[in-house]
Structure 1
Amino acid sequence: MWLQEQWYKARLHPLLFLLTPLSLLFWLVTNLRRSFYFSGLIRRYKANVPVIVVGNISVGGTGKTPMVIALCQWLKEEGWKPGVISRGYGGKGPFPHSVSENDDPNFVGDEPLLMRRRTACPVVIAPKRAQAAQLMSEEFPDVDVIISDDGLQHYGLKRDIELIMLDAERGTGNGWLLPAGPLREGPWRLKGADWVISNYGRHAFAKHVVDVEPGQWHRVDNDEKVELKADDDFYAIAGIGYPQRFFNSLSEQGIKLTGSQGFNDHHVYREEDFSQLSSHPILMTEKDASKCQAFAQPNWYYQTIEAKLPEVMKTNLLAELERKKNVH
């Protein structure tokens, strides 16, 4: 957590200078790897339908999952039949695997399960996106567009459209590659991209801005919709890429917090994590809820979030997708 905080400060912390040689090595390895794929030295898999990659150049939360969910819901309204592929980060496998709504998040990952439940679209997980795309075509031949959750740097799968997500608040941090900074690829990657999308405000590199809005509250134990009592004091937890955003959102909604605790992204919750909080009503994200449902108390609640796609983005993306479909 300390390291991530330093990544997003304007000046490089003195201790991070010790990591800069590793960042230079990271740059060398990743650029060699990328050149091997694009020169044809390493084979790339081409799916039989258009592939949209929703990714980022930094680690941590940039709103990829809400974007994938919003894309699936919108494309279904437009008559498309989307399917989602994902790494299944945090899941134990086996891989590749087609996710069902009753799967255990510890085996399939929290985000794939969330996307499966929210979209009712096929979701296939595998660390190698090409394997996931192959299984998708075999098990779900009606799928006519594949959306890859993350995978911008997984060049083994050819893609037709890249949606690069940016957090407008945190941007590209200190501008350094891992581990001295938060970047997987340099900011140069944004300058030549057709689809750079920012959340939570406009960023200089962004061509479209997506609003992410808080949604309905639900009980964690049974998913029942509820209205929070305005006079209650709540304790908040979050195991997402940027926990403070969730806590800030609660404050903006006028919700009083007696305290909050951030966990690492994809944290595997145990009942012991809440042993000191048994008397408190607890608020959490929808992603956290799937891993807490088995031992949740009746006064634990989660909130959905909704990404709102701008109309001009929908129009342009649909036209681009139709063009890509015609060449497959």
Structure 2
Amino acid sequence: MTSLMERLWYGKSRPLMLLSPFAWLYRAVAEARRRSAITARVQSLPVPVVVVGNITVGGTGKSPLTAWLVDEIRAAGWRPVILSRGYGGNSSGYPLLVTQDALPSLAGDEPVMLAQATGVPVVVDPDRCRGAAFALDNALGDVLVSDDGLQHYRLPRDIELAVFDGERGIGNGALIPVGPLREPISRLASVDFVVVNGAVASDEMGRVPLSGFCGFAHPQMYAMTLQPTRLVNLISGETRSPESLNGKRVRAVAGIGNPGRFFLTLEALGANVTAMPFPDHHRFRPEDLGADADQILVMTAKDGVKCRGFAPDNAWVLYVEAQLPKAFSDSVLAKLRACSGPPTF
């Protein structure tokens, strides 16, 4: 998404109102495709399916939430498998089982990042139903977690999680192309959980009050934060604390859905940041990674998997982890048990 579209969509006004007929057409087509996909799909799979997604365009923190969720599910005794569309990858064949050293140009940047972060099987296929069948045929696990699959309606699902960026919310509240919404806000009535990433008030249980967020409420709405955990050199593997950036000159590059959040995180750590945003899933080149002699080059984990082969010696990756309340974990795991029974240890 371009910075221009971000300004137009994530403000309060609707300068693109002249495009309203296209927004109505977009909604009609999307709803027709949803009905058709739901009608065509099998009603269930022999294992539970958890879908993590959003109804807005742009980065919301889905991948860190997916990694956190997979860790929680695995710690409770299940064997989760991640399903991904593999956006940005260009494999000659699907389904594709992603290893930790897979090429992002084939598998996509987010699947490789998730494989490295979680260590669980990651299956890439633009057709998530085919990817799910591959995971089941090969006995890869007993819970399927679909990363960014809320609108992939042919895939049956038992639990749905919708994620929002707390600062940007729903933007101007309009559907594409007038605003950033992929689906109407009313879609949230059918999801099981809503997660708000940052910049939102919550109670002592981590729940967002029923007074709502951006004009809507949900009985299972929780607050999430992203916590920087470590700084790792892409070449040497040296690890430092995130606080080591305090007072340092940093050239920050980010090819993610909401690069501004990454830059603010670095500034909160005390870094003197020169921000270099790129489009989401940008294919980096060596010339994108230039930095002054007294600067530290810092990027996201998602970008790091693409730059490892040509990164300079001063390139570092800032890793973050999702932090969510225990009440949310307990609720998700309880629903998962209701879908599948207790895990087989």
Shorter-normalised TM range: over 0.9
**Counterpart residue number, 2:239:** 225
Q: How does 1:22-41 map to 2 (within 5 A)?
A: 22-38=22-38, 40=39
Specify the SS of the correspondent of 2:170. coil
Q: 1:194 aligns with which of 174, 192, 195?
A: 192
- Cα shift readout 1:208-260 (whole Å, capped 9, x = no counterpart): 11221111000122433124354431111111110011111111111112x21
Tell me how far apart the structure 2 counterparts of residues 229 and 261 of structure 1 sit (CA, whole Å).
17
**141-150 vs 204-213, which deviates more?**
204-213
Write the letter of the residue equivalent to 1:265: D
Task: Measure, in 1, the Cα distance between the counterparts of 2:267 and 2:230.
Answer: 16
Tell me, what secondary structure is at the counterpart of 1:290? helix
TM superposition shift of 1:194:
2.5
Contact 1:47 1:134 in 2 (8 A): no
2:255 to 225, 239, 260: 239
Structure 2 residue 312 is matched with structure 1 residue 314: no
Pairs within 5 Å for 1:114-125: 114-125=113-124
TM-score normalised by structure 1 residue count: 0.93
2:288 is paired with a residue whose SS is helix
In structure 2, how many angstroms separate the alpha carbons of the residues matched to 1:229 and 1:326? 46
Question: Which secondary structure does the structure 2 equivalent of 1:236 belong to?
Answer: strand
Q: Which residue of 2 aligns with 1:74?
A: 72
Residue type matched to 2:300 in 1?
T
- Per the TM alignment, residue 76 of structure 1 is displaced from its structure 2 partner at its CA by 1.5
What letter is aligned with 2:337?
E
Other-structure match for 1:99: 98
Residues 245 and 270 in structure 2, CA contact (< 8 A), matched pair in contact too: no
TM-score (norm 2): 0.89
How far residue 168 of structure 1 moved from its aligned partner, in angstroms, is 1.4
Which of 180, 183, 204 lines up with 1:182 in the alignment? 180
| AA aligned opposite 2:233 | R
Asked if the contact 2:166/2:198 (under 8 Å) is kept, the reply is yes
Q: Does the 8 Å CA contact 2:161/2:193 hold for their aligned counterparts? A: yes
Counterpart of 1:261 in 2: which secondary structure? strand
- What's the counterpart of residue 285 of structure 1? 300
CA–CA distance in 2 between the matches of 1:271 and 1:198?
A: 35
Aligned match of 1:256: 272
Indicate the SS of the match to 1:153: coil
CA-CA distance at 1:18 after TM superposition: 3.2
2:89 maps to amino acid: G
User: Contact between 2:251 and 2:275, CA under 8 Å: does it hold in 1?
Assistant: yes
Map Cα deviations across residues 58-90 of structure 1 (whole Å, 9 max, x no partner).
Answer: 111111100110011122111111110000000
In the alignment, is the contact (CA less than 8 A) between 1:96 and 1:135 conserved in 2? yes
Show the 5 A alignment for 1:5-154.
5-13=7-15, 16-38=16-38, 40=39, 42-44=40-42, 46-93=44-91, 94-139=93-138, 141-154=139-152
Verify the 8 A CA contact 1:44 1:155 in the aligned structure 2: no
The answer to whether the 8 A contact 2:289-2:312 is kept is no
Q: How far apart, in 1, do the equivalents of 2:140 and 2:277 lie?
A: 41
Question: Which residue of the partner structure matches residue 203 of structure 2?
Answer: none
Structure 1 residue runs of 4+, over 6 Å off?
none
**Could you tell me which amino acid in structure 2 is paired with residue 59 of structure 1?**
V
How many Å apart are 1:191 and its aligned residue? 3.2
User: 2 CA distance for matches of 1:129 and 1:294?
Assistant: 30
Does the CA-based 8 Å contact 1:58-1:184 persist in structure 2? yes
Q: Is the 8 A contact 2:121 2:140 kept in 1?
A: no
Q: Taking structure 1 as reference, are residues 222 and 303 closer, same or farther at Cα in structure 2, changes over 3 Å only?
A: same
Distance 2:64 2:43 in 1: 26
**Residue in 1 that maps onto 2:207:** none
Q: Is the 8 A contact 2:81 2:140 kept in 1?
A: no
Percent identity, aligned pairs only?
38
Q: Following the alignment from structure 1 to structure 2, what is the Cα–Cα distance between the partners of residues 249 and 293?
A: 22
Provide structure 2 residue ranges, at least 5 long, that are not aligned to the other structure.
Answer: 201-211
Further displaced range: 190-199 or 311-320:
190-199
